């Protein structure tokens, strides 16, 4: 593999990560929005430079899979020429923010995110996985989305600055939000946060100006497939799309899509039903995580996604099917976790992949029989 593929970082387009099927090239849509023209361009880029597979990540980014070392420079040129990637690699790395996906032009989320992006050159160098969350709608939507430095709607109705891992935040004056985020990020670095890696693990006492006592407001219901005041939302099974499914979206009578951290796309306009996407908010695949598995991943000894489709209707809570103990698709415990090992399946309840199982060495049919509702 070439020298530009770096492991151990949150990959971006300038620093793609090597996976079993080639390089992963991450695209961070600006304010989480992709126009129809951008969707068409990404569909074409995935087919031309990648293997036609595109991941939706839990940071509301897209990841083009299967890019070759030889094809990466031309792909990067294309993405930077169309402003999908910043031509400055440092700025691209710093552009790690998740926004409430249903923002509207000029509202608090839009205003603060735009302000933060305007200050990006003044932000400190942060560890690879740290990021900002701007969740300034009428109530929080992004409580479970990964982040370190948050702006959220507070219980009293105004906006608060909250450091990840702390239950309460500091109320902010309107207009001061982006500056406060930058100040908190600088304090994190100056107080030794880089060694901790993430804000939630950084135990240094917060400075007085960030030490508020206001809790976030009660969260809003997540955006699910179906009708939405902005248009309509659809789910991507296992967070995976293809060049074809992006092209289908680009052909719809919509202005753009918003990418969410929940493997759901919110379209600005109506979407026609398409079997590539989940349209039912109760679809059990929305509660199912499954990694690529065999044969796509060389570390997997079992197939995962067909098995997950068969198991999902039998499981009431969260289901995780993992090709091996690494658990790439889900770091948190799931109600039912199936982990592949030596070509067979281990079953565990309320566990992460690879945790001590309740049943070991099952064939798929035995697993289905064990979990079957009827
Ligand atoms: S969990 Fe294991 S099998 Fe699945 S993608 Fe990760 S390394 Fe591969």
What pLDDT digit, counting tens, does each position of 44-68 carry? 999 999 999 999 999 999 999 999 9
The Cα–Cα gap between 303 and 324 comes to 10
Q: Which of 328, 339, 343, when mutated, tests ligand 1's pocket best, judged by the most ligand atoms within 8 Å of its CB?
A: 328
What residue ranges define each of the domains in the chain, with the CATH number in brackets? 17-86+224-267 (3.90.480.10), 103-210 (no CATH), 284-370 (3.30.413.10)
Q: Which of 24, 238, 295, 322, when mutated, tests ligand 1's pocket best, judged by the most ligand atoms within 8 Å of its CB?
A: 322
333-358: buried (b, 16+ CB within 10 Å) or exposed (e) per residue?
bbebbbbbbeebbbbbeebbbbbebe
Q: How far is CA 60 from CA 1, 185, 314, 339, in A?
A: 27, 21, 29, 26
> Mean pLDDT throughout 261-285?
96
Other Cβ atoms less than 10 A from the Cβ of 42: the count is: 27
Residue 24 pLDDT more than 60? yes
Give me ligand 1 centre to Cα 65, in Å: 15
Query: Coil, strand, or helix at residue 232?
Result: strand
Which atom of ligand 1 is nearest to 297's Cα? 8
Which atom of ligand 1 is nearest to 353's Cα? 1
Running DSSP on this structure, what letter comes out for residue 219?
Answer: P
Give me ligand 1 centre to Cα 342, in Å: 13
Instruction: State the pLDDT at residue 7.
Output: 43
The Cα–Cα gap between 1 and 285 comes to 34
87-108: buried (b, 16+ CB within 10 Å) or exposed (e) per residue?
eeeeebbbbbbbbbbbbeeeeb
Q: Is the CB of 292 under 6 A from ligand 1?
A: yes
Share of the chain above pLDDT 70, in %: 97
Instruction: State the pLDDT at residue 10.
Output: 75
> Mean pLDDT throughout 134-150?
96
Which atom of ligand 1 is nearest to 329's Cα? 1
Q: Is the CB of 126 under 6 A from ligand 1?
A: no
Give me ligand 1 centre to Cα 340, in Å: 9
Asked if 146 contacts 162 with a C-beta cutoff of 8 angstroms, the reply is no
Q: Which residues, other chains included, contact 93 with Cβ-Cβ below 8 Å and sequence gap of 6+? A: 12, 14, 15, 128
Q: Is the CB of 297 under 6 A from ligand 1?
A: yes
For the chain, give the mean pLDDT: 94
Residue 117 pLDDT more than 90? yes
The Cα–Cα gap between 192 and 124 comes to 13
> Mean pLDDT throughout 155-177?
97
Give me ligand 1 centre to Cα 22, in Å: 15
Instruction: State the pLDDT at residue 20.
Output: 78
> Mean pLDDT throughout 132-155?
97
Phi, psi of 77 (to 5 degrees): -60, -45
Q: Is the CB of 326 under 6 A from ligand 1?
A: yes
User: Which string of DSSP letters, residue by residue, matches 35-100?
Assistant: EHHHHHHHHHHHHHHS-SEEEEPTTS-EEEEEE-TTTHHHHHHHHHHTTSS-SSHHHHHH--EEE-
Q: Is the CB of 337 under 6 A from ligand 1?
A: no
Which atom of ligand 1 is nearest to 323's Cα? 3
pLDDT in tens, 203-244: 999 999 999 999 999 999 999 999 999 999 999 999 999 999
Instruction: State the pLDDT at residue 353.
Output: 96
Residue 374 pLDDT more than 80? no
Instruction: State the pLDDT at residue 295.
Output: 86
Residue 373 pLDDT more than 80? no
Q: Is the CB of 291 under 6 A from ligand 1?
A: yes
User: Which string of DSSP letters, residue by residue, matches 109-173?
Assistant: HHHHHHHHHHTGGGSPP--TT--EEEE-SSS-S-TTS--SEEEEEBTTSSEEEEETT-S-BEE--
Give me ligand 1 centre to Cα 157, in Å: 43
> Mean pLDDT throughout 175-185?
98
The Cα–Cα gap between 333 and 348 comes to 10
Residue 3 pLDDT more than 60? no
Q: Is the CB of 284 under 6 A from ligand 1?
A: no
Q: Is the CB of 32 under 6 A from ligand 1?
A: no
Q: Is the CB of 339 under 6 A from ligand 1?
A: no
Which H/E stretch holds residue 339? strand 334-341
Other Cβ atoms less than 10 A from the Cβ of 169: the count is: 25
Q: How far is CA 208 from CA 202, 211, 276, in A?
A: 16, 5, 50
Residue 327 pLDDT more than 60? yes
Instruction: State the pLDDT at residue 8.
Output: 47
Asked if 96 contacts 60 with a C-beta cutoff of 8 angstroms, the reply is no
Using CA atoms of 371, 343, 240, 270 in order, give the dihedral in degrees to the nearest 10: -30
Instruction: State the pLDDT at residue 297.
Output: 84
Share of the chain above pLDDT 90, in %: 91
Q: Which of 291, 327, 331, when mutated, tests ligand 1's pocket best, judged by the most ligand atoms within 8 Å of its CB?
A: 291
> Mean pLDDT throughout 125-140?
95
């Amino acid at each position: 593999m070439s020298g530009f593929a770096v492991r151990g970082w949150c990959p971006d387009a300038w620093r793609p990560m090597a996976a079993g099927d080639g390089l992963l090239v991450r695209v961070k849509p600006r304010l989480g929005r992709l126009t129809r023209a951008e969707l068409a361009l990404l569909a074409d880029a995935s087919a031309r430079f990648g293997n036609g597979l595109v991941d939706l990540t839990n940071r509301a980014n897209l990841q083009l899979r299967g890019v070759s070392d030889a094809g990466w420079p031309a792909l990067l040129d294309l993405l930077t020429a169309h402003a999908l990637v910043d031509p400055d690699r440092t700025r691209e790395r710093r552009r790690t923010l998740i926004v409430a996906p249903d923002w509207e032009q000029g509202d608090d989320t839009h205003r603060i995110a735009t302000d933060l992006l305007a200050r990006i050159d003044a932000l400190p160098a942060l560890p690879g996985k740290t990021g900002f969350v701007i969740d300034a709608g009428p109530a929080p939507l992004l409580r479970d989305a990964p982040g370190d430095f948050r702006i959220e709607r507070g219980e009293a109705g105004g906006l608060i600055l909250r450091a990840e891992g702390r239950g309460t935040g500091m109320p902010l004056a309107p207009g001061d939000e982006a500056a406060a985020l930058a100040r908190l990020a600088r304090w994190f670095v100056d107080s030794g946060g880089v060694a901790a890696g993430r804000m939630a693990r950084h135990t240094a006492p917060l400075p007085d100006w960030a030490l508020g006592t206001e809790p976030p407001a009660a969260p809003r219901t997540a955006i699910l497939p179906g009708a939405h005041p902005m248009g309509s939302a659809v789910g991507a099974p296992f967070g995976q799309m293809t060049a074809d499914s992006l092209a289908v979206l680009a052909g719809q009578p919509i202005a753009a899509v918003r990418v969410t951290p929940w493997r759901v796309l919110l379209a600005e306009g109506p979407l026609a039903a398409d079997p590539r996407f989940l349209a039912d908010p109760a679809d059990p695949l929305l509660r199912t995580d499954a990694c690529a598995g065999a044969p796509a991943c060389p570390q997997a000894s079992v197939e995962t996604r067909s098995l997950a489709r068969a198991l999902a209707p039998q499981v009431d809570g969260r289901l995780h099917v993992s090709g091996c103990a690494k658990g790439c698709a889900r770091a948190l415990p799931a109600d039912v976790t199936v982990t592949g090992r030596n070509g067979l399946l281990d079953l565990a309840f309320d566990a992460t992949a690879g945790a001590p199982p309740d049943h070991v060495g099952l064939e798929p049919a035995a697993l289905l029989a064990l979990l079957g509702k009827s």
